[in-house]
A and B are shown apart, each in its own frame.
Chain A
Amino acid sequence: MQSDAERRELRRELRREIKDAAARQDAAGVVAGARRLMAESSKPADVAFCATAFAGIADALREQLGARRLKTYVVRSVTVEPMLASLAVEAVLANYLLDIEVGGYGSYADELLNADSSLAKFKPELVLILLDMEEIAGRLPEMCGDGAAAEVEREIEECVGRMAQLLRSYRAGSTARILLQGLVVPDCTSLGDVGEANLPHSLTNAMQGLNRGLAALCGSIADCVFFDVDRLAARAGRARWRDARMFLASRLAVAAEWFGTYARGLVRTFSTMFRAPRKVLCTDLDETLWGGVLGEDGPEGIATGSAFPGNCYLEYQKYLKQLSSRGILLAIVSKNNEADVREAFNVRAADLALGLDSFVALKINWNEKAESIREIARELSLGLDSFVFVDDNAVECEAVRRQLPEVAVVEAPAREPWRLVEVLSEQAFFDAAVVTGDDLRRVDEYRAQAKRAELASSMGSRDEFLSSLGIVCAFQSALDAPLARAVQLLAKTNQFNLTTRRRSATEVAEFAAAAGGQAVVVRVRDRFGDAGAVGLALARRQGDSCVIDSLLLSCRVIGRGIESALLAYVGQQALRSGAKRLVGEYIATKKNAPCAEFYFVHGFTRFVPPEEGSSESVFYELDLTSSAITSPKWICVEGK
């Protein structure tokens, strides 16, 4: 146990480190120091200290770490100001720089409805709507007093309806991402614990129903996510979540000791609208997927199955299986003899929740683990920033962290295997507010990919191979892709993405609705499987030109000519709408070199536009009246 004096000294030392790093404008150093200080002590003074340090290196955070600046407006009915330092700090730890403006206490409805409100004028990229129960459902506590009033249901519907009106009205005039906070189920009520649990229309039941209604509402509005603050409050303990003294005296809705938890929850929730979840989990075997060391203990000796401690590992396997069922790809990265591992999966099949066929890649060898992960990334055509690596060995973890900084590394608690699931679920990297049909198909699709690779190696020419795949492309409006999938593609495609503009659902809808505009998604299938919606193009009409704002293709279908078919389709549609010229744009990023020559190889010529466009943009044009883009002959186009 550390003494108070020792802890104070450690805090001082960490602060000195942060200050020194800030003086050097060393962004990574400041963030690392702040992370340690926050883990050691998240007292308000330390949070304020970190917030000040971050504010002083804002440019460095952006330039050195690529922190994303977000203009953020807080619509509120409670006091949030003392919590803003925590929000700023948690945001930076997740690589966002918030530029925050806070609305008035009583003006939330006006802010959301009025086109001239301070909210509308601020033009935020993110709106946090943090209202308290009194504003959303002030009548409910009284109505629920007897626990039986049937009109409670109608009141809940009306509350959701009012909120729907506010959100839809705001959505119609803004493309900002919206976070709507739910309600905390009150801890102290007149019905008491037994009445709350047993009476059909108790306040607890009403609040939970209201939260469900609000969550469903958020799901029906583009770029809107529900923040389940009750879940955080329940985890912390609802009785301590709110300090009644401070709520009643100063309208502070969350007790100061939970500011960090609350801010982390907010950041974790809004992040899902700006960032794609990771896609692959690579797990170690010994002391991670099962207990013990296979090479020493043999297949019968490793711990897995229904008895302790094997059931700790079984829980972890079940958790991985659930991740796989929503489209997270699993892979094994283990230093072992492959034959031994195959035998273990065979012999202990009844005690394992996963079979070898649950994994899309197996790297069971004596190579460096970083090298194995790199190989998997190549085979699956996925960036390393899509990877998570779980291993109990601190040395292996550190080696991967150093060699592959993009990979998220989770150190499995080998001595406390019962904490495996907890440690993994604390991480935000698989968070998603939406799971699309394409996510669910992904695991099958990657298996099909492996079969294609096999076929390719047995075929002579590339054309012959591609013809044998029987590729079918179908084009449809991005609004029907469904729209959530279109936005997901925009958010996460990096390699084959001409402009890397992270357009929102509302913006996609605008492209689709504009005269001469296009928002097209291409769906692809072949004899091995259905890849689903994998490519997208957005274009707008400008005079007699059709200007392609965005064009992208999921990396797992690159190299089959689908990009050419998509461009050909956009060209045809442009011609059909009366355009004479097709304009393409390329903005180079760290990752999109594979498509740098895209317009050039399709016959476009480079030109410099008179005014428009950022300095990084390279523009290309094609005269549609004299040349046409041909779709590859091995692709069958459907639904023209």
Chain B
Amino acid sequence: MSVEQVPTSLRELLADIFEISAERVTPELSMGTLDSWDSFRHLQAILAIEGEYGVQFDPQRIPELTSVALLQAELVKMGAVL
């Protein structure tokens, strides 16, 4: 899959948080494949997404949303405008 499948706003946001270039933010990018994506960065990403799209994640879901695809799907499910 390619970067185009991740909306620009989400791509740029995650690039800022993980300190990587926006081109590297593909749907497959995950906690397992990116060194800088540790548990604290994960929390930071969650807070950034909540602030950006005005949503609140269910805390029980937060630890499960460990890839860009999963985050994106959860946002769509919550009705966020990406």
**Which residues of A come within 8 Å of B, CB atoms?**
8, 43-46, 48-49, 52, 79, 81-82, 85, 245-246, 248-250, 252, 256-257
Given contacts A44-B48, A85-B44, contact A249 B16 (CB under 8 A): no
Specify which chain A residues have a CB less than 8 angstroms from the CB of B40 in the assembled complex.
79, 81-82
> Closest 7 interchain pairs by CB?
A249-B59, A44-B48, A81-B40, A256-B47, A45-B13, A82-B44, A45-B16
Q: In the complex, which residues of chain B have a beta carbon less than 8 angstroms from the beta carbon of A250?
A: 43, 59, 62
Do A245 and B56 have beta carbons less than 8 Å apart?
yes
- A79 and B43 form a contact (CB under 8 A): yes
Flag whether B17 is at the interface (Cβ < 8 A): yes
- Secondary structure at the B interface, as helix, strand, loop or mixed, is helix
A45 near B59 with CB under 8 A, answer no
Nearest chain B CB to A76 CB, angstrom units: 13
The docked-state distance in angstroms from the alpha carbon of A85 to that of B41 is 11
Measured CB to CB, the closest approach of chain B to A286, in angstroms, equals: 43
In contact, B51 and A81 (Cβ under 8 angstroms): no
Name the A residues within 8 Å of B28 (CB-CB). none
Do the beta carbons of A82 and B43 come within 8 Å of each other?
A: yes
Contact B16 A52 (CB under 8 A): yes
Q: Which residues of A contact B59 (CB under 8 A)?
A: 245-246, 248-250
B23 at the interface (CB under 8 A from A): no
B4 within 8 A of A: no
Query: Is B56 a contact of A44 with CB atoms below 8 Å?
Result: no
In the complex the two chains form, what is the Cα distance from A174 to B48 in whole Å? 37
Residues of A within 8 A of B16 (CB): 45-46, 48-49, 52
A45 and B17 within 8 A (CB)? yes
6 contacts between A and B (CB under 8 A): A44-B44, A45-B48, A48-B19, A81-B44, A246-B59, A252-B43
Q: Dominant SS at the A interface?
A: helix
Interface residues of B in 17-63 (CB under 8 A from A): 17, 19, 40, 43-44, 47-48, 50-52, 56, 59, 62
What band does the interface of chain B fall in when counting residues whose beta carbon is under 8 Å from A?
Answer: 10 to 19
Q: How many angstroms between the C-alpha atoms of A46 and B15 in the bound complex?
A: 11
- In the complex, what distance in Å separates the CA atom of A79 from the CA atom of B38? 14
By a CB distance below 8 angstroms, the chain A residues around B50 are 256
On whether the beta carbons of B52 and A43 are closer than 8 Å, the reply is yes
Which B residues are in CB contact (< 8 Å) with A49?
Answer: 16
| Chain A hits for B12, CB < 8 A | 45
Once bound together, how far apart are the Cα atoms of A81 and B52, in whole Å?
Answer: 19
CA distance A45 to B17 in the complex (A): 6
Complex CA distance for A640 and B51, rounded to whole angstroms? 66
Q: A48-B16, A48-B17 are in contact. Are A257 and B51 (CB under 8 A)?
A: yes
Interface centre among A45, A52, A248, A257, by most B CB within 10 Å? A45
CA distance A52 to B18 in the complex (A): 10
Selected from B9, B17, B19, B62, the residue in CB contact (under 8 A) with A44 is B17
B residues near A246, Cβ cutoff 8 Å: 47, 59
Cα–Cα distance between A249 and B12 once the two chains are bound (Å):
27
CA distance in complex: A48, B16 (Å): 6
Contact (A249, B62) CB under 8 Å given A48-B17, A49-B16, A52-B16: yes
Q: B51 to chain A: which residues have CB within 8 Å?
A: 43-45, 256-257
Write the chain B residue with the least CB distance to A42. Answer: B51
Q: Which residues of B contact A85 (CB under 8 A)?
A: 44
> Which residues of A lie under 8 Å from residue B48 when comparing CB positions?
43-45, 48
Closest chain B residue, CB of each to CB of A12? B12
Q: Which residue of A lies closest to B40 (CB)?
A: A81
User: Which residue of B9, B48, B52, B62 has the most chain A CB atoms within 10 A of its CB atom?
Assistant: B48
A14 to chain B, nearest CB (A): 13
In the bound assembly, the distance between CA atoms of A198 and B48 in angstroms comes to: 41
Residues in chain A near residue B43, CB distance under 8 A: 79, 81-82, 250, 252
Residues of chain A lying within 8 A (CB to CB) of residue B52: 43-45
Closest chain A CB from B40 CB (angstroms):
4
Q: Map CB proximity to A onto B4-16 as digits: 1 under 8 Å, 0 otherwise.
A: 0000010011001
When C-beta atoms are compared, the residue in chain A nearest to B47 turns out to be A256
Q: Give chain B nearest CB distance to A50 CB in angstroms.
A: 9
What is the distance, in angstroms, from A3's C-beta to the closest C-beta of chain B? 14
Residue ID in chain A nearest B38 by CB atoms: A81
B72 to chain A, nearest CB (A): 16
Chain A: which residue is nearest B12 at the CB level?
A45
